[in-house]
Structure 1
Amino acid sequence: MGETTTGSGRTILIAVDESDETTYALSWCLRNFVTHSDTLLLLHAKPLPSSYTAMDGTGYAFSADITATMERYDIEVAGSLLAKAAKMCEDFGDEKQVKVETKVEGGDARDVICRVAEKLSPDVLVMGSHGYGLIKRTILGSVSRYCAQHVQCPVLIIKRPKSA
Structure 2
Amino acid sequence: MSQVAANERRILVAVDEGEESIYALSWCLKNLIFENSKDTLILLYVKPPRAVYSAFDGTGYLFSTDVLASMDKYKEQMADTVIEKAKKLCNNLQNVEIKVGHGDPRDVICEMTQKLGADILVMGSHGYGLIKRALLGSVSNHCAQNANCPVLIVKKPT
User: Which secondary structure does the structure 2 equivalent of 1:75 belong to?
Assistant: helix
1:52–1:67 Cα contact (<8 Å) kept:
no
User: Which secondary structure does the structure 2 equivalent of 1:149 belong to?
Assistant: helix
For normalisation by structure 1, the TM-score amounts to 0.84
C-alpha deviation, 1:111, in angstroms: 1.1
C-alpha deviation, 1:129, in angstroms: 0.4
Counterpart Cα distance in 1 of 2:49 and 2:85:
22
Q: Which amino acid aligns with 2:106?
A: R
Aligned positions of 1:97-116 closer than 5 A: 97-116=93-112
Partner of 2:3: none
- Unaligned segments of structure 1, at least 5 residues: 1-7
Counterpart Cα distance in 1 of 2:20 and 2:126:
6
1:10–1:37 Cα contact (<8 Å) kept:
yes
Counterpart Cα distance in 2 of 1:128 and 1:15:
8
Partner of 1:11: 10
Identity %: 55
* Cα distance change, pair 22–10 in 1 and its aligned pair in 2 (3 A): same
Instruction: Identify which of 128, 132, 136 aligns with 2:128.
Output: 132
**Superposition RMSD on alpha carbons, in Å?**
1.7
User: Which secondary structure does the structure 1 equivalent of 2:53 belong to?
Assistant: helix
Matched residue count: 148
1:25–1:159 Cα contact (<8 Å) kept:
yes
- Which one has a larger percent helix, Structure 1 or Structure 2? 1
Partner of 1:58: 59
- Unaligned segments of structure 2, at least 5 residues: 1-6
Counterpart Cα distance in 1 of 2:52 and 2:70:
11
Counterpart Cα distance in 1 of 2:100 and 2:58:
27
User: Which secondary structure does the structure 2 equivalent of 1:128 belong to?
Assistant: strand
1:52–1:62 Cα contact (<8 Å) kept:
no
**2:124 pairs with 1:123:** no
* Cα distance change, pair 52–71 in 1 and its aligned pair in 2 (3 A): farther
